[in-house]
Amino acid sequence: MSSGLDRVIAIVNGKGGVGKTTITANIGGMLAASGYRVLLVDMDPQGNLAEELGYTDSEANDDGMALAQTLVFAAEAKPARGIRENLDVLMGGSHLDMAAAGLTLKAQKDPASAKAALAQGLEGLAENYDLIFIDCPPGQETLQQAALAAARWALIPVKTDASSRKGLRDVARRLDAVVTINPDLDLLGIVLFGVNRSAKRVSESAREAIRQDLGSAAPIFETSIRHAEAAAQESRERGLLAFELEEAVLAAPKWWELRRGSGQEHDGPRSKSAVGVAEDFQALGEEVVARITESEATSIPTGPIKAEG
Amino acid sequence: MTTQPARRTLSGLTPKVTKTAGVDRLIKANRPTTVQNDEGLKSSTVSEQASDATPTESAGLTESVRTHSVSPAVPKYLQLQRREARIHVEQADALTMLTRRLNSERRQPNGTTVGERITDNTLIRVAIDLLLQRENEIHGVSEEALAEGLGLEPRRVGR
């Protein structure tokens, strides 16, 4: 790992649909709202982070062009600033498909340089941020390798089904490819995503299966992110993060106010489950900060991570 | 009429493989060997970290305990299986006194300590190994008979 990249976290799983983008956006957004300076890197050619953060149709959305140029031509990384307060984004999108092809060609001549492409791009930026989160694509081996080569930590979301746990195997294979140039890469934790709160046995079985794979010391986050279809859908439709949706829901007039005529008609968010989801992300964010702080306390005496203001 | 092959005896299914092999290397501490990076620089290695293990750990009790106790990232207590046992009050008292003595012997004249903290559980694990070393000598149909067989004064409980 390059110097200065010790707070880079790759959100990764070899399988799609396990919540990588949602977690990247919500943890990043929530930490930014808490005062941390946060950079999100969308390495996914699908560019779904744009929907989560609501910048799909904004002029700033370059569909991954700037990031692709950084990866292939070592151009200076230029994140889009101020997507939220304290939150910048190196945007993903279809240009990353071409970047992946370019990196594959590069890897034939100089494998280490291809793998280190993102790390080099982030080196100049890292000092501006307290935390950097990389949303990794489920496929695209070269892009995943570049992400893992730049990261100090891997955070792996899994669903309770066995197939998403198999995605761990893919991550382990990617790790093998980069561990020579990034030996410090370590597992920050595994988080269960899309969990049905009433299916406690299913959830516990999934945790047990992960412990079987990784050993009893598997760093599984206490927090799991609950399944809330309506909130997830409304979040993406409105480009609001879970905690933003929660604020909007709580601020909306209550049904009895509307019935009484004392509240104004509104077409605002209605997903009450947003409240619970936001609580889950808050708890996960706190665990992420605690684990990094704990690790830093035992390695480099930099003190706990503190938000500004 | 065609002859049907003899039916096989049903004997259950092949056990399901649940463990995904090799995934544990995602945790840095589980990676076994020194890594040489592309620039030829040696990374921090498990073997280096293992050399930091306390003298007691490296000169440990049994092969199995020693092997598992040098992992730098996972606390020893998490590598051991929890197993509760009821013991005699005087055994508990004697164990406590013994651990106190052993821990006081770890203290150096300059105020520092060497080795690892000795607990009741540490001694119980050593005692188990000592017992298992003599497993061929152990015969008996009761706790008292087992103790007597090993030349110990049997304890009488509730009599």
- Integer CA distances (angstroms), B93 to A83, B121, B126, in order: 64, 13, 17
In this predicted structure, what is the pLDDT of residue B58?
Answer: 33
Span B22-74, pLDDT tens digits? 788 888 888 865 444 444 333 333 333 333 333 333 333 333 333 334 444 56
- Average pLDDT, rounded, for chain A: 86
Both structure tokens of A272: 């009450």
Is pLDDT at A167 greater than 90 in this prediction?
no
Helix (H, G, I), strand (E, B) or coil at A158: strand
Q: What pTM was estimated for this model as a whole?
A: 0.65
Contacts of B36 in chain A (CB under 8 A): 180
Contact: A168, B20; criterion CB under 8 Å: yes
Chain B residue with minimal CA distance to A115? B38
Residue with tokens 């501490």: B29
B16 touches chain A (CB under 8 A): no
Is pLDDT at B12 greater than 60 in this prediction?
no
Q: Which of A34-38, B5-9, B77-81 has the lowest mean pLDDT?
A: B5-9
Q: Report the distance separating Cα B147 and Cα A165, nearest Å.
A: 49
Contact: B73, A217; criterion CB under 8 Å: yes
Q: Report the distance separating Cα A232 and Cα A273, nearest Å.
A: 9
In this predicted structure, what is the pLDDT of residue A261?
Answer: 62
Contact: B27, A214; criterion CB under 8 Å: yes
Best interface-test mutation with B: which of A186, A208, A299 has the largest number of B CBs within 10 A? A186
B34 touches chain A (CB under 8 A): no
> What is the value of ipTM here, to two decimals?
0.72
Is pLDDT at A115 greater than 90 in this prediction?
yes
In CATH, the number for domain A8-223 is: 3.40.50.300
Q: Report the distance separating Cα A81 and Cα A66, nearest Å.
A: 13
Q: Which of A32-46, A156-170, B28-42, B56-70 has the lowest mean pLDDT?
A: B56-70
**With a CB-CB cutoff of 8 Å, which residues 79-98 of chain B face chain A?**
79
Q: Report the distance separating Cα A269 and Cα A242, nearest Å.
A: 11
**C-beta separation of A42 from A92 below 8 A:** yes
Asked whether the CA dihedral A111, A115, A116, A117 is positive or negative, the reply is: positive
In this predicted structure, what is the pLDDT of residue A220?
Answer: 93
Contacts of A165 in chain B (CB under 8 A): 20
Instruction: State mean pLDDT over A106-110.
Output: 90
Contact: B27, A219; criterion CB under 8 Å: yes
Span A207-247, pLDDT tens digits? 988 888 888 888 999 999 988 888 888 888 888 888 888 87
**C-beta separation of A276 from A230 below 8 A:** no
Highest mean pLDDT among A130-134, B62-66, B135-139: A130-134
Residue A138, classified by CB atoms within 10 Å of its CB into exposed (0-12), middle (13-18) or buried (19+), is: middle
